[in-house]
Amino acid sequence: MATRKVRHIGDPVLKKVCKPVKKMTPNLLTLIDDMFETMYEAQGVGLAAPQVGIVRRICVVDVQDEDPVVLINPELLESSGEQTDDEGCLSVPGKCASVTRADHIVVRALDRDMNEVTYEVEGLKARAFLHEMDHLDGILYGERANEPYHDIEEDEEEDLQ
Ligand code: NI
């Protein structure tokens, strides 16, 4: 495993609509492992493939050391409720902004063995899923935010990215 370079806002790869994964390959398995390592090293709770320059519909999420999840070709099946909180992104370093998102979602995706899995999640985990899934359509959270990006206060920094 290795960490990969995280692309920052302004890099055109972050605006791309990513392509679905049709079959698992050794290269994609390595990519998934590297994405987890990159996310953990940066103390993030999620990372999407375009953030490391790969235009594929793959993202990883691990909220507060729960189960690490890889979502391949994720689809949003249901969403309900509303939550508003500050969000950050490894591709927009040092910044945050308030975003309102669904509070409860159902997502269908493939796992690393290309088996279909359905996730029903809420709260911070739902926020992380939706944030990462947006990356697969070239959307950064700033486009959904209730306010412009602003600097993260130092004491908040650890919680957000
Ligand atoms: Ni992000």
Q: What is the pLDDT of residue 155?
A: 58
Please name the residues in contact with 85: beta carbons below 8 A apart, sequence gap of 6 or more.
98, 99, 124, 127
Q: In angstroms, what is the span from residue 148 Cα to ligand 1's centroid?
A: 16
Number of residues written out for the chain: 161
- Is-contact 35 4, C-beta < 8 A? yes
Question: Is the model's pLDDT at 158 over the cut of 90?
Answer: no
Average pLDDT (28-52) is 97
Active-site residue, 120 included: no
At 37, list the tokens. 């390592």
Which residue ranges make up each domain of the chain?
12-160
Which long-range contacts does 64-69 make (Cβ < 8 Å, 24+ apart)? 64/124, 66/125, 68/36, 69/119
pTM of the model: 0.93
CATH code for residues 12-160: 3.90.45.10
Which of 116, 122, 132, 154 is an active site residue? 132
pLDDT at 156 over 60: no
Kindly give the distance from the C-alpha atom of residue 23 to the centroid of ligand 1, in angstroms, as a whole number: 25
In this structure, what are the phi and psi dihedrals at residue 79, rounded to the nearest 5 degrees?
A: -145, 145
| The predicted structure's pLDDT at residue 152 | 87
Ligand 1 centroid, distance to 9 Cα (angstroms): 10
The structure tokens listed for 10 are: 């302004």
Query: Which residues fall within 8 angstroms of residue 84, CB to CB, at 6 or more apart?
Result: 98, 99, 100, 101, 146
Cβ(101)–Cβ(83) below 8 Å:
yes
- Residue 122 three-state SS: strand
Provide the pLDDT for residue 157: 52
